[in-house]
């Protein structure tokens, strides 16, 4: 049976990817997913080696066969996204605003508009020392990031099944967008990396509500602690009220980002290796 664990945070900069990278190195065998398809960091941090790559087709978009177009203009009238306009050659053409609704194809009296697959990103399978990493790059400005995450998660499950690996660890995107929803759908456990700050608390409350809707248990690593002990106490109360459990703490320490910039993980820092080991043990035992 494959267990899926998502590492999430309500906001960017909470330390989620650093924690995920350390956990990935501690697990004996794993399939990892980098769910941050707008800014994929795990391949950089873990110096992975690409094994394969494939184009990602998120949706079909309209394409006009101009040789059959009578220039009646009905397509441009119905398009709610202003995605069809006359070009410099005097032909109607489709621009990047197309949302793939197919309304233009339905109304075209000449039937010269077809819906064609549109490449909006690339997904990759890379080698880890102890397993595999599925990650992706969404073309800047493209939609369908949630669908792209669902696609690499499906591939991760396939790889785990084929290779007989029983843990999938997902480094989710920050926030509570459709990308976050796509990252936690169907997982067994969420580890929230919660920055000990007012914005961290506020963002955690939104994320906890989302997790609760999916009826997924969640654990919490409190990060960047020690600046405001009163706030720390308040956060502990809020985590309890939201059904979470704090299973680890990491202090605010400027040495951590310096170490990451040298491509070291938290395991390379003697103060934090034990914290990560305990966290990993606890995650695996839940």
| In the complex, least distance from residue 143 CB atom to ligand SF4, rounded to whole angstroms | 12
The C-alpha atoms of residue 58 and residue 82 are separated, in whole angstroms, by: 20
CB-based contacts of 160, cutoff 8 Å, min separation 6: 2, 31, 166, 167, 168
Say whether residue 99 binds ligand SF4 (CB under 6 A).
yes
Tell the smallest beta-carbon distance from residue 74 to ligand SF4 (Å): 4
Nearer to ligand SF4, 108 or 152 (CB): 108
What letter would DSSP give residue 139? P
Do residues 119 and 57 lie in contact, with contact meaning Cβ atoms separated by under 8 Å?
yes
Residue 70 sits in the site that holds ligand SF4 (CB under 6 A): yes
Q: Is residue 64 at the binding interface for ligand SF4, with CB under 6 A as the rule? A: yes
In the complex with ligand SF4, the residue whose CB is nearer, 77 or 129, is: 77
Which of 38, 41, 93, 110 touches ligand SF4 by CB under 6 A? 110
CB of 117 to ligand SF4, least distance (A): 13
Of the residues 51, 73, 214, 281, which one makes contact with ligand SF4 according to CB under 6 A: 73
Q: Is residue 217 close enough to count as binding ligand SF4 by CB under 6 A?
A: no
Q: Which is nearer to ligand SF4, 118 or 218 (CB)?
A: 118
* Residues 12 and 36: beta-carbon distance below 8 Å: no
What the block records as the tokens of 45 is 């941090």
Least Å distance, CB 160 to ligand SF4, is 37
Stretch that binds ligand SF4, among 94-102, 243-251, 252-260, 275-283 (CB under 6 A): 94-102
Does 103 contact ligand SF4 by CB under 6 A?
Answer: yes
Q: Which of 31, 104, 133, 149 binds ligand SF4 (CB under 6 A)?
A: 104
Q: Which of 75, 149, 219, 275 binds ligand SF4 (CB under 6 A)?
A: 75
Q: Is 136 exposed, middle or buried (0-12, 13-18, 19+ CB in 10 A)?
A: buried
Under the rule (CB under 6 A), what is the footprint of ligand SF4?
A: 61-62, 64, 69-75, 78-79, 81, 83-84, 92, 94, 98-104, 108, 110, 112-113
């Amino acid at each position: 049976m494959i267990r899926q664990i998502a590492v999430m945070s309500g906001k960017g900069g909470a330390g989620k990817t650093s924690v995920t990278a350390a956990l990935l190195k501690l697990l004996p065998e794993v399939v990892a997913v980098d769910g941050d398809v707008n800014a994929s960091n795990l391949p950089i941090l873990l110096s992975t080696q690409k094994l394969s790559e494939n184009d990602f087709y998120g949706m079909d978009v309209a394409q006009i066969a101009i040789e059959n177009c009578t220039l009646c203009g009905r397509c441009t009238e119905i398009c709610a996204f202003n995605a069809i306009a006359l070009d410099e050659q005097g032909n109607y053409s489709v621009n990047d605003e197309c949302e793939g609704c197919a309304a233009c194809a339905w109304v075209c009296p000449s039937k010269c508009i077809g819906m064609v697959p549109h490449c909006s990103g690339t997904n990759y399978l890379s080698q880890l020392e102890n397993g595999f990493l599925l990650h992706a790059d969404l073309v800047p400005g493209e939609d369908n990031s949630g669908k792209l995450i669902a696609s690499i998660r499906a591939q991760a499950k396939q790889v785990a099944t084929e290779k007989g690996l029983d843990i999938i660890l997902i480094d989710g995107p920050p926030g509570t967008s459709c990308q976050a929803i796509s990252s936690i759908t169907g997982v067994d456990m969420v580890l929230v990396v919660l920055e000990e700050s007012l914005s961290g608390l506020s963002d955690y409350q939104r994320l906890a509500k989302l997790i609760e809707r999916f009826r997924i248990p969640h654990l919490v690593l409190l990060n960047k602690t020690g600046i405001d002990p009163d706030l720390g106490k308040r956060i502990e109360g809020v985590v309890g009220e939201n059904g979470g459990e704090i299973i680890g703490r990491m202090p605010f320490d400027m040495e951590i980002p310096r170490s990451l910039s040298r491509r070291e993980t938290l395991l390379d820092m003697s103060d934090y290796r034990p914290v990560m080991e305990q966290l990993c043990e606890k995650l695996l035992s839940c």
